[in-house]
Structure 1
Amino acid sequence: MPNPMLNPTIPSPCYVCEEAKLEANLQLMQQVQNETGVEIILALKGFSMWSTFNLVKQYLQGSTASAVWEARLGKEEIGKQVHAYSPAFKPADIDELVNLVDHISFNSLGQWQRYKQQILASKVSAGLRVNPEHQEAETELYDPSAPGSRLGIRAQDLHSADLSDIEGFHIHNLCECDSFATERTIKAFEDKFGKWLPQLKWINFGGGHLMTRSGYNVKHLIDTLKAFKARHPHLTVILEPGSAVAWETGSLVAEVVDIVDNQDKIAILDISATAHMPDVLEMPYRPEVRGAAKADEKPFTYRLGGNSCLAGDAIDLYSFDHELQVGERIIFEDMIHYTMVKTTFFNGVEHPSIGIIRKDGSFELVRKFEYEDFKNKLS
C-alpha cells in the first residue's frame, strides 16, 4: 500500500490528520464508556481540529474548554455537553459562559463566591478544581500537583467552606500517564476528599489518561473506573482526555529547503520548531521522523533545523539511509495533538496548512494560511 503521506496533492508544510486512525481512537474510547458508564469528553486544549468534529461527536459526549473561545468552539462544532475550567475567570467571561456551558469548575473558593449567585441563577452545574497533592506527571512544566501549584484547592482549605451548592469536583494531575497512575490518583483523591463525595453529583478525573497508546492497559482502566463507580454509584464520572483522542493520528509534513555544514550537516526545513512544534523546545522532547533513526545509527546524519531566525530553532540529530536532497519530504510523526493548538506566526514564516486523509484514502485540504492571517493576528 502506498504511503498516504507521500500523496503529491499534500502541500508542504502541512499537518495531516488520518481520519481512520482518529476513528479507531474514538472507538476505543466508546468501548471504555460502554463498559464503565463514564462519560468521555474532548479537551479542546489538546485537540481543536474542528473539521474532524462531525466524527468526534459521534463517539464522545461533548467537550471541555479552558476559555470562552474554546467553549464557543465546543458549543458550535460539537454541541452536546460543554464544560469549562480556568485558573481564573473575569466577570465578562462568566457573562458569556453561562450561555455556553453546562458545567463550570472554579479554581478557588474566592472565584466561586464571587460568581456564585450568577451561576446558581443560570442553572449551570458548579464544581471546584481540587488538588490531590499527588504527583504523577514526569515533566514539572506539566505537573498540576507540584508543590506551590496555582491549580486546584487543597483539602485542608475546604474543611470550613460552605459547599452546599457545589455539585462536582474536578481533578487533573496526569500527563500522558498509564492506568495505574489513574488508580493511584483515585486512591489519593478518595483519601483526601472522600468526606465530601456523598453530597456531590459528579466527578471529573480530567485528562492525561493515554488509553490509546500502544501497551496501555485498557482493561485495568475499565476495572479501576468500575470499582470507583461501585463505591460511589450516585456519581457521574467524567474523563476529558486531549492527547489520547488524537494520539498518533497524523503527522507534520515538511520539506528540505537547504543543507548547510557547520560541525554537523544541517538540513533546514520549511517548518519552525519554535513556531510549529513548540513542545520540542518546551518539554523538551525528540519527535519521531519517518524512516529516520538516532544520530549515526544510519549512514547519513543531519541536524534538522527550522526556518525562523531564532538561533535555537533546531530539532535534533537524525540519521537516514541516504543523503538528503533539497525538496525532499520529511515527515514528523504524531503531530496532531497539542501541536497545532500551540502554533504561532512568529517571524512571519509560512504556517503549515491543515489537511485530512479521509477513510477512502483521498486527501482533503481544509485550511491554507495566507498573508492576511499573519497580518490580522497583529494590528
Structure 2
Amino acid sequence: PSMTGSRLGQPLDQLMQLDLPEINGLHLHNLCEQGFDPLARTVAAIEPYLSAHKGRFQWLNLGGGHMLTQPDYNTEALIALLKRLSSDYAAQIYLEPGTAIAFDAGILVGEVLDVTDNDGPIAILDISATCHMPDVLEAPYRPAMLNEASEDGVNVTLGGPSCLAGDVIGTYTFPDMPERGQRLAFLDQAHYSMVKTTTFNGMRMPSIAIWNSQTDALKLVREFNFSDFERRLS
C-alpha cells in the first residue's frame, strides 16, 4: 500500500504540509503479513508528524497486516509499543483484524473433471481460480495443495472450467497423473475465498461445511445452486 504510485492513502511528506484541524485521528496501513519490526519502522517514520500534532489526535489506527498469531511474532515488543503510543499521545490505539486470525484456516476441495495434454499435462477442476480463489490471479500467488508430491513425479497444470483463458490455479507435482473424480484440497483458503467468490459464467459457489477434526464429523452449513447466480443478475 505504501509503494510509489499507490492510490491508497496520503504520502507522509504531503500530509506534513497540510493543515487539517477537523481531523482527530490517523489511520495508516502499509503492512501485509508482517512481523513486528516493519511496524516499528513505520511508527518511527510517522512519529515526527504525531509529535508535531501532539494532543490533537483522539485515535490512531495502525491498520492490518500484523501476523500476531505466528510463533515468532514479538508480542512483548508490540504490547510495549502500543502502551507507549497510548501514553505519549493520549490516543486510543487500534489494530485491525487481518489474515493472522484466519491464517492456515479452511481448505477448498475440488474434483478433477477431465485430464488432457497440450504441451504438458493439464487437469480441469470443478473449482475456478477466477471464481473461487481470485487472489491466485490478483496477487498473484500459488496456493499450497494438500499432500503435494516432492520433486519426483508428474507436473500437472490445474485449471478451472470457466471460459477465461487465464483461469489457471498453477502447476503442481503428483506421484501419478491425476484421474477423473480425484479430489484435491487447497490450503489456507478461509480468509478471502468466501468473501470474494463470483458467479462468472454461472459457476456455482463452493458449498460451506465445518469439519470436526476430533470426531471426523462433517456439518454442511450451506449449498449454492443456479438460483444464486440468477438472483445476482440485474
Assess same fold via TM > 0.5: yes
- Equivalent position to 1:183, from 34, 40, 60: 40
Partner of 2:97: 241
Q: 1:193 to 1:229 in 2, by over 3 A?
A: closer
Residue 266 of structure 1 is matched in structure 2 by: 122
Over aligned residues, Cα RMSD in angstroms?
2.1
- Per-residue CA deviation, residues 305-351 of structure 1 (Å, 9 max, x unaligned), is 11111111112111122332211110000011122222111111221
Whether 1:199 aligns to 2:56 is yes
Query: The residue matched to 1:222 in structure 2 has which SS?
Result: helix
| Alignment-derived partner of residue 165 in structure 2 | 311
Tell me the TM-score normalized by structure 2. 0.89
Residue of structure 2 in register with 1:148 after alignment: 5
The structure showing larger relative contact order (alpha-carbon pairs under 8 Å, at least 6 residues apart) is 1
How many angstroms apart in 2 are the aligned matches of 1:214 and 1:330?
Answer: 28
Matched AA of 1:324:
P
> Which letter does structure 1 place at the counterpart of 2:25?
G
Aligned to 1:99: none
Partner of 2:141: 285
Report the residue type matching 1:376 in the other structure: R
Q: 1:212 maps to what in 2? A: 69
- Residue in structure 1 matching 2:108, options 252, 274, 278: 252
* AA of the residue aligned to 1:372: S
Q: Structure 1, residues 21-68: CA drift from partner, whole Å, max 9, x if none?
A: xxxxxxxxxxxxxxxxxxxxxxxxxxxxxxxxxxxxxxxxxxxxxxxx
User: CA separation in 1, counterparts of 2:30 and 2:155?
Assistant: 38
Per the alignment, residue 125 of structure 1 pairs with none
Tell me the residue number matched to 2:176: 322
User: Which range moved further: 307-316 or 352-361?
Assistant: 352-361
**Alignment: residue pair count:** 232
Q: Secondary structure at the match of 1:356?
A: strand
Match of 1:171 among 17, 28, 47: 28
Give yes or no for contact 1:351–1:369 (8 Å, CA) kept in 2: yes
Residues 300 and 320, structure 1, Cα contact 8 Å, conserved in 2: yes
- Distance in 2 separating the partners of 1:355 and 1:251: 10
Percent identity at matched positions? Answer: 46
Which of 196, 204, 208 is the matching residue for 1:354? 208
For residue 213 of structure 1, report the CA deviation from its aligned partner.
3.4
User: 1:322 and 1:217, CA in 2 relative to 1: closer, same or farther beyond 3 A?
Assistant: farther
1:301 positional shift: 2.1
Q: Secondary structure at the match of 1:301?
A: strand
Distance 1:242 1:350 in 2: 27
* Aligned 8 A contact 1:273 1:281 in 2: yes
Give the letter for the 1:196 counterpart: H
Question: Aligned to 2:169, what secondary structure does the other structure show?
Answer: strand
Gaps of at least 5 residues in structure 2 are none
8 Å Cα contact 1:254/1:269 also seen in 2: yes
1:289 deviation in Å?
0.3
Per mean C-alpha deviation after superposition, the further-off stretch among 193-202 and 150-159 is 150-159
Unmatched runs of 5 consecutive residues or more in structure 1: 1-142
| Matched residue, 1:47 | none
The reply to whether residue 275 of structure 1 matches residue 131 of structure 2 is yes
- Displacement after TM superposition at 1:214 (Å): 4.8
Contact kept? 1:256, 1:329, Cα under 8 Å:
yes
Which one has a larger percent helix, Structure 1 or Structure 2? 1
- Structure 2 residue aligned with 1:302, among 142, 153, 156? 156
